[in-house]
């Protein structure tokens, strides 16, 4: 570990505050460091490994595709890409998919779609996109501009112009912005993940949808973190009874290989034409074969388990000593602690449980299929660390 840490600190750009753990291997929700110390993984690589690490079915799907053809460029048709797009559309009601490699790229595509849609219908000044304060949409200059947190903006000016921000829940403020500026779209996360695991209220989400319909703005739903079963539905918008025009996702879709997907509904499906957008690796057959395996296993039985495990975590932690509040949806949970969240995180790690933080909260994003006995052990450790 000492050697790896030294090398990393010398040669890898210092953009991450890494924990003092070097993960070497694992199985499912158990991961091990190089000294053989075992941890229960309550973070899933930040909502990526929805079926844990080294998951046999996913490894088999990926390696089978690796042995056939690992890449072909988007100049040719490949089966995993076409089948994954079909599955995503059939299971969401959206119509077409653009594949990329990350959440930020999925959002970039959504923003391009919204701008072209509005420009062609109402003119080029209709480029404004409204997002929420405290949101997180990615780290490229445009998705940073979409991110409604000044702290991320300060050092990188000028960002892409045309983004406006309103407080989550403030429907009147949202309407005012659409009246004061020529707009193209409204973009929201159903649960603000990086912002502290804060779900939107149904009234606000549904009100934003109604406003988008009234003004012919595209409703873009960022499901990069909430998607792919994490919320207890395949996509979190399905809890709210809204019909987005564009849904973006990444993270858990790939199960651990990079993939981003921008799902386009009725209005958005034909906005981008030949040459308007592209990606060398987007739709890569290996990533798509893995994603097809993941998606095929996020069925009603698994989603019911996600909801059951979520209810268990809420019931164990709400009102527990040292816990001020619990928020979230499905297996995306934020815990407001009396002690600083970083202190609780470190105590959990010492006791063999890997958690995350989001803003001032402890954050849990366990694998969707974490076995109940492991979940119980992890929750006992978290309770003790909070007290």
Ligand X SMILES: Cc1ncc(COP(=O)(O)O)c(C=O)c1O
Give residues in contact with ligand X (CB under 6 A).
Answer: 102-104, 107, 136-138, 189, 193-194, 222, 224-225, 250
Calpha distance 45→170 (Å, rounded): 33
State the minimum distance, in angstroms, from the CB of residue 107 to ligand X: 6
Sheet holding 353-354, edge to edge: 23-27, 30-33, 38-41, 353-354
SS3 84: helix
- Tokens 């090398």 correspond to 7
- Rank residues 65 and 102 by Cβ distance to ligand X and give the closer one: 102
Coil vs helix vs strand at 372: helix
CA distance 235 to 225: 10
**Which CB atom, from 48 or from 381, has the smaller least distance to ligand X?**
48
> CB–CB of 226/58 below 8 Å?
no
CB atoms within 10 A of CB 46: 15
Least distance from ligand X to the Cβ atom of residue 226, Å: 7
Phi, psi at 279, each rounded to 5°? -165, 135
Least spacing, CB of residue 330 vs ligand X, in Å: 15
Residue with Cβ nearer ligand X (189 or 209): 189
The span from the CA of 311 to the CA of 371, in Å, is 15
- Least spacing, CB of residue 104 vs ligand X, in Å: 3
Question: Considering the complex, what minimum distance in angstroms separates the CB of residue 364 from ligand X?
Answer: 15
Which tokens is 288 given?
Answer: 């798509």
Q: How far is residue 147 from each of residues 134, 142, 168, 188, 305, measured CA to CA in Å?
A: 7, 9, 13, 10, 32
Of 168, 174, 129, 135, nearest to 151 by C-alpha is 135
Q: Which is nearer to ligand X, 246 or 250 (CB)?
A: 250
Closest distance to ligand X from the beta carbon of 135 (Å)? 7
Of 28 and 103, which CB lies nearer to ligand X in the complex structure? 103
Question: Which residue is at the shortest CB distance from ligand X?
Answer: 103
Nearer to ligand X, 224 or 379 (CB): 224
Task: Give 41 or 222: the residue with its C-beta nearer to ligand X.
Answer: 222
Q: How far is the CB of 158 from ligand X (least distance, A)?
A: 21
Q: How far is the CB of 55 from ligand X (least distance, A)?
A: 20
Closest CB 370 distance from ligand X, rounded Å? 20
Q: How far is CA 303 from CA 43, 87, 183, 295, in A?
A: 18, 17, 36, 12
Q: At CA 188, angle to CA 325 and CA 141, rounded to 5?
A: 110
Distance from the Cα of residue 181 to its chain's centroid: 29
Given the complex with ligand X, which of 47 and 341 has the nearer CB atom? 47
Query: Is 162 or 195 the residue whose CB approaches ligand X more closely?
Result: 195
d(CA 281, CA 224): 18
| Residues with Cβ within 8 Å of residue 77, at least 6 apart in sequence | none
């Amino acid at each position: 570990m000492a050697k790896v840490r030294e090398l990393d600190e010398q040669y890898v750009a210092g953009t991450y505050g890494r924990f003092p753990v070097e993960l070497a291997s694992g199985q499912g929700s158990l991961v091990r460091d190089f000294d053989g110390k075992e941890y229960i993984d309550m973070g899933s690589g930040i909502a990526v490994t929805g079926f844990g690490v080294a998951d046999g079915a996913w490894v088999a799907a990926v390696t089978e595709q690796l042995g056939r053809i690992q890449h072909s460029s988007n100049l040719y048709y490949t089966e995993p890409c076409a089948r994954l797009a079909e599955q995503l559309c059939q299971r969401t009601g959206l119509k077409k998919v653009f594949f990329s490699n990350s959440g930020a790229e999925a959002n970039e595509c959504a923003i391009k779609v919204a701008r072209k849609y509005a420009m062609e219908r109402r003119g080029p000044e209709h480029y404004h996109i409204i997002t929420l304060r405290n949101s997180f949409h990615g780290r490229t200059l445009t998705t940073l501009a979409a991110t409604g947190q000044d702290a991320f903006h300060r050092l990188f000016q000028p960002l892409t112009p045309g983004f406006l921000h309103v407080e989550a829940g403030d429907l009147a403020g949202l309407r005012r912005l659409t009246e004061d500026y020529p707009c193209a779209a409204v973009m929201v996360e159903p649960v603000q993940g990086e912002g502290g695991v804060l779900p939107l209220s149904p009234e606000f989400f549904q009100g934003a949808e109604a406003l988008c319909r009234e003004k012919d703005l595209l409703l873009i739903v960022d499901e990069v973190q909430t998607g792919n079963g994490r919320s207890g539905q395949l996509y979190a918008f399905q809890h709210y009874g809204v019909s987005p025009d564009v849904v973006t996702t990444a993270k858990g879709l790939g199960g651990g290989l990079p993939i981003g997907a921008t799902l386009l509904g009725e209005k958005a499906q034909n906005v981008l034409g030949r040459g308007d957008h592209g990606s060398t690796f987007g739709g890569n057959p290996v990533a798509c074969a893995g994603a097809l395996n993941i998606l095929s296993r996020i069925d009603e039985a698994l989603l019911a388990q996600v909801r059951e495990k979520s209810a268990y975590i809420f019931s164990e932690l709400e009102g527990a000593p040292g816990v001020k509040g619990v928020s979230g949806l499905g297996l995306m949970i934020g815990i407001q602690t009396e002690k600083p969240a970083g202190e609780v995180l470190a105590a959990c790690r010492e006791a063999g449980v890997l958690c995350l933080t989001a803003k001032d909260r402890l954050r849990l994003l366990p694998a969707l299929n974490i076995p109940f006995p492991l979940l119980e052990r992890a929750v006992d450790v978290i309770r003790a660390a909070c007290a």
